[in-house]
Amino acid sequence: MRVVPVPCLQDNYAYLVVASGGEAAIVDASEAAPVRATLARERVRAVAIWSTHHHFDHVGGNEELARELGLEVVAHVSDRERVPAFGRGVDTGDLLRLGDVEARCIHIPGHTLGAVAYFVDAPGQRCVFTGDTLFCAGCGRLFEGTAAQMHASLGRLAALPGDTRVFCGHEYTASNLRFAAHVEPSNADVARAIDRAARLRSEGLPTVGTTLDEERRVNPFLRIGSPELRTTLRIAPDADEVAAFAVVRASKDRFR
C-alpha cells in the first residue's frame, strides 16, 4: 500500500490510497482536476471515494469523479443528504476493502456531526485519514459539535498505535505549531517540529504524515494535561479535560 497526497484548492489535501494491485481510493475529492491528473500520473485505477465530512472543500469533486469513473462514494451514514453522490453510509467499526487493503471507519464528531476517519492497518504502514478533525499539531474548529464530542473524538484517534501516520485535510501545520510554541514555549519537540515543517515547505513538500507518537508530543489538543499549557492559558490545574479543551480551542480560534 502507498499513500499519495494530492494538493487541491488553496491548502487542501486529497489522497490516493493505492493497493498493491493498483486499485485506489480517493480520500476527500476536493476538486476533480488535480485528482484526475494524479490518477493518470500514478497509473492507478480509482474504485471509490472516501469522504471524511460534508464540507464543500472536501467533496467538491465527488459528483464529477463519481459520474466519470463509476465510483462508490462512502461517507458517514448521517451525511446521506449532505455528501454529493453519496452511495454508502458507514459508522464506527465498519470495514472497507480496497484490493489487499482494509480500512476501519471511526465516527469522530466535533468539527461536523458526520465526520469519519479511515484507519488503515497494512503490513509495515499504519495510517489514518482524519479530514478536519485531527490536524498535524492541531484540530478543527467546532462548527457543529461540542467540545466534549471533539475531545472524545480526538481521544479515539490518539488511542490508535503510535506509529500510525496522520493524513489530514489541510496544510495548516506551520500555523498550528506557532500556537503550540505559544502555549508550551519550553517544549523542545515543538521546536524540532517547527524546523521540520519549515524545511519541508521550503522544498515544496507536504508536512502531513506525522505519527501519532509525534502528535502526542507536540499537539496542544492532545496535551490538555500539560502543566505549562495550563499555566499559559490560565486553566486551573484541577479543571476537567473537556473544560480545559474548550479553553484551548477558544484560544486557538483567537490566536494570530
What is the reported pLDDT for 122?
86
Question: What is the chain's percent helix, strand, coil content, to nearest 5?
Answer: 35, 30, 35
Q: Catalytic residue, from 28, 53, 76, 79: name it.
A: 53
Looking at 28, 54, 55, 79, which residue is catalytic?
Answer: 55
Please indicate whether residue 170 is annotated as part of the active site.
yes
What is the per-residue pLDDT for 124? 80
pLDDT in tens, the chain (256 residues): 999 999 999 999 999 999 999 999 999 999 999 999 999 999 999 999 999 999 999 999 999 999 999 999 999 999 999 999 999 999 999 999 999 999 999 999 999 999 999 999 988 899 999 999 999 999 999 999 999 999 999 999 999 999 999 999 999 999 999 999 999 999 999 999 999 999 999 999 999 999 999 999 999 999 999 999 999 999 999 999 999 999 999 999 999 8
CATH topology of domain 2-254: Metallo-beta-lactamase; Chain A (3.60.15)
pLDDT at 77: 98
57 is catalytic: yes
- The yes-or-no answer on residue 58 being catalytic is yes
pLDDT of residue 55: 98
pLDDT at 3: 97
111 is catalytic: yes
The pLDDT, as a whole number, for residue 61 is: 98
Known catalytic residue at 151: no
Read out DSSP for 128-173? EEEETSEETTEE---SSS-HHHHHHHHHHHHTS-TTPEEEESB--H
Does 132 participate in catalysis according to the annotation? yes
Alpha helices in the chain, H assignment, sequence order: 32-42, 56-59, 62-69, 147-158, 173-183, 188-202, 212-218, 227-232, 241-254
Instruction: For the full predicted model, state whether its pTM sits above 0.85.
Output: yes
